[in-house]
Amino acid sequence: MKGRPLLPFAIIAIVGIVVMISLSFIGLNQREAMQADEEGEEEVTEIEDPVAAGEELVQASCIGCHGGDLSGGAGPALTSLEGQYTQEEITDIVVNGIGSMPSVNDNEVEADAIAQYLLSISE
């Protein structure tokens, strides 16, 4: 040990580098798998009952700002949109946001279901 005092440190350094490289490759493989899973989840092509699906999506996404009964809260009331907005405009707002409202859902089919539901409950 007296002749080579740096040998244990060199071995530890080499082992550490090998472990870091191995973990990097494992992480890259997991990231690719996660991205593939996320892309597979986005495949919603059509909804059988868009009004019912829209109601579920609204309950999950909108009531925090627009109130439990959608009569307003931090955001405006959503119960009287008919005549103010078309279905396409509401879908665009849900996908892209407007003013201080952020984008809620970037899936066009789900955003359209939300728009159909909101127009169906308009007074």
Prediction pTM value: 0.62
Measured between alpha carbons, how far is 110 from 113 in angstroms, rounded to an integer? 5
Measured between alpha carbons, how far is 69 from 63 in angstroms, rounded to an integer? 7
Give 101's strand partners. Answer: 98
Collapsed DSSP state (helix, strand, coil) of residue 70: coil
Residue 58's nearest CA partner among 106, 104, 103, 89 is: 104
Q: Which residue has tokens 């991205």?
A: 35
Write out pLDDT tens, residues 68-80: 888 888 888 888 8
Measured between alpha carbons, how far is 12 from 45 in angstroms, rounded to an integer? 54
pLDDT for position 43: 55
pLDDT for position 14: 95
CA 75 → CA 31, 92, 103, distances in Å? 36, 17, 14
DSSP label of 103: P
Write out pLDDT tens, residues 2-54: 677 888 899 999 999 999 999 888 887 787 777 777 665 555 567 888 888 88
Residue 61 corresponds to which tokens in the numbers above? Answer: 């996404």
